[in-house]
A = this chain, B = another copy of it.
Amino acid sequence: MQPEYPLPVDLFDTLDKASPIPLYYQLATALEQAIRDERVPPGSRLENEISLGNRLGLSRPTVRRALQELVDKGLLVRRRGIGTQVVHGRVTRNVELTSLYEDLGQSGQTPTTRVIAYELGTADDTAATELGVAVGAPVLHLTRLRCADGVPLAVLENTLPEDFTDITREELEARGLYQLMKARGVSIRVANQRIGARAASAVEGELLEIRKGSPLLTMSRTAFDNSGRAVEYGQHVYRPDLYSFELTLVDR
């Protein structure tokens, strides 16, 4: 069996039992950073959870919860009777429940938005089904062009329920949609997405500065807030040379 890798104790000096941040989260974050920095090498076998808990002054369930977080992110692999190992190979980021606007900002690009259409209308069949409102109910229709460092990247079409009609064009050009919704006390908890591809229409080609008929990456999404209500339906298209989706799948 592979010998266990002694986790540097100083990794966990940052654990603060008085902090409002949960202990399992503090531990998971510290360990994740150590793995990403390769201070804990790929493939190495970690110390068992009981002994780790003793060294850290944490109970076993707390340690387990921290490790499970990293298993779910695809960074660790555990086997009964064997132990816990760091996955070989590059660790990648993941599709998360963030907006494109924030994603771009975090990857060092400057996002800008142009509002193409902004209209109070009524829900068509698709929008009504996705948002769980009646056909013909008042909704807000948005079409935005999102650019990164000035290069057109995506056309974002969204339908929102009536209570977001106080969002202005100016706000939409300055911030991401999720930020604006959050500022109104609505935070997104769950989203169902479908990712596909199709050819660009003439209008899409013009907006994205590509030829009509070229491939587009498509994503349609319905998002729900923390009470389970549908608060957004979107149909987005992306330039595939500039954007793609990354995700990590874990068997559990």
Contacts and interface: CB of A to CB of B under 8 A. Distances in A.
A240 B198 contact: yes
Nearest to A129: B90
Contacts of A88: 132, 224, 228-230
Given A189-B250, A190-B77, A196 B245 contact: yes
A247 interface: yes
Given A85-B228, A224-B87, A95 B247 contact: yes
A109 B245 CA distance: 27
A98 to B, nearest CB: 9
Interface in A90-141: 90, 92, 95-97, 129-130, 132
Contact of A216 (B187, B197, B245): B197
Of A87, A130, A190, A245, the most chain B CB neighbours within 10 A belong to A190
A79 interface: yes
Contacts of A188: 251
A14 interface: no
A150 to B, nearest CB: 22
